[in-house]
Structure formats: structure tokens, C-alpha cells
Amino acid sequence: MMRKSTVERSTNETSIRVSVNIDGNGVYDITTGIGFLDHMLEQVSRHSLIDIEVKADGDLHVDFHHTVEDSGIALGEAVSQALGDRKGIRRFGNVTSPMDETLSRISLDASNRPYLVWNVDMPTEKVGEMDTQLFREWFQAFGQAAGLTLHVENLYGTNSHHIVESCFKGLARALRQAFEIDPRRSTDVPSTKGVLGGSL
């Protein structure tokens, strides 16, 4: 089973191409034009072991919002396509992610019923040149497109860089847990309904 996908997304605001290999080795080639976002997506690849390629050309002369949001959408769509019917996956991931003085908790369900709970407060308005409010936008876009019920909480921390990075690294490890094939039910959809998604 080849869990790979490529997505191309073009609007008047951005042009993005994303490729993923769920069963990769954490190899990445990422260029969004936003240095800190590149760094965070590299963390996602490295710690999830998902191979990720992202090439984004966005209207950065306006601001970073469109590129951040659309890169999340495109990556989420690629992940969802690569997962297919989601047979055999463990489905759930739960990680407590420390970084220096910071501790964050990321819990997710690859349920194909997207929902985001974001309990993260940033001490500063920017990390580098990136507005800290845009990180919620990326998680919202990615989780929605990937079909994830996603809970992201920063339990404590004082450094915005550390808080953001602990969230992305925790997301990566939770994705690795959830997307791993369970050898005890490798051909079954992990739901009593027989399908993931739709109504409760």
C-alpha cells in the first residue's frame, strides 16, 4: 500500500505544490518564503517521519496570512488523500511535548471529522517576522483539510518560539502515532461504523 499523494493548489493569492509520503523517513524540501514556517514544517516532517515537499509562492507583499493558511490546506489535503480510506491506522495520537520551560499537549483523532480546539496563548505578537495569531490559522487549515479532530494546548511556557515549536513537534509525534498501521487490524477501518467521517 503506497500512502503517497501530490496536491497542487492555485488561487489569485497563492500557488502551492505539496507532496507527501506517509511511510517515509522524515525527509523534507520546504520553501514557503516564510522562514519560521519552513522551520516548523521541517519539524513536522522530521518527527512524524512523513516525507514532505512544499513549494509555495504567495502574496507575501500583502502579508503572510494567505501563504500560511493555504499551505496548511494543501498539506492537509495531501495527507488526507495519502491516507485514503484510513484502513488499518491506529487513528488516535496523544503527545505531551516539552521544550525547555514550555510544555504542550497535542491530542488528535484521524476521524475524518475535523474540529480544532486551540488553547494556546502567546506572550508576544510575533516570532521573527511571523504574527503569532497565524499559527492557529495554520493548525485550523491543516486539521480541517486532513480530517483531524485536533486539540492543541500549551500547558505552560514563557517563550513564544518554544511554545510554537513544542506544538508543531507534538503534532508531528501525534501524527506518527495515529497514522501508523496497526498489525492487529491492518485491513479494517478503525470504527464500529465501518467508515471514518460523516455524522457522529
CATH topology for 4-179?
Ribosomal Protein S5; domain 2 (3.30.230)
The whole-number pLDDT of residue 142 equals 98
pLDDT at 200: 43
Write out the three cell numbers for 24: 517515509
Do 176 and 89 contact (CB within 8 A), yes or no? no
Return the closest-CA partner of residue 172 out of 148, 191, 196, 144: 148
- pLDDT at residue 115, as a whole number: 97
User: What does each C-alpha distance from 192 to 130, 175, 188, 197 come to in angstroms?
Assistant: 42, 22, 10, 12
pLDDT digit string, tens, across residues 77-134 = 999 999 999 999 999 999 999 999 999 999 999 999 999 999 999 999 999 889 999 9
Q: What's the confidence (pLDDT) of residue 192? A: 66
Low-confidence ranges of the chain (pLDDT < 70): 192, 198-200
| Averaged pLDDT score across all residues of the chain | 95
What's the pTM value of the predicted model, to 2 decimals?
A: 0.94
Q: In the chain, where are the structural domains located?
A: 4-179
List phi, psi (to 5°) of 77.
-65, -40
Rounded to whole angstroms, the Cα distance separating 34 from 122 reads 19
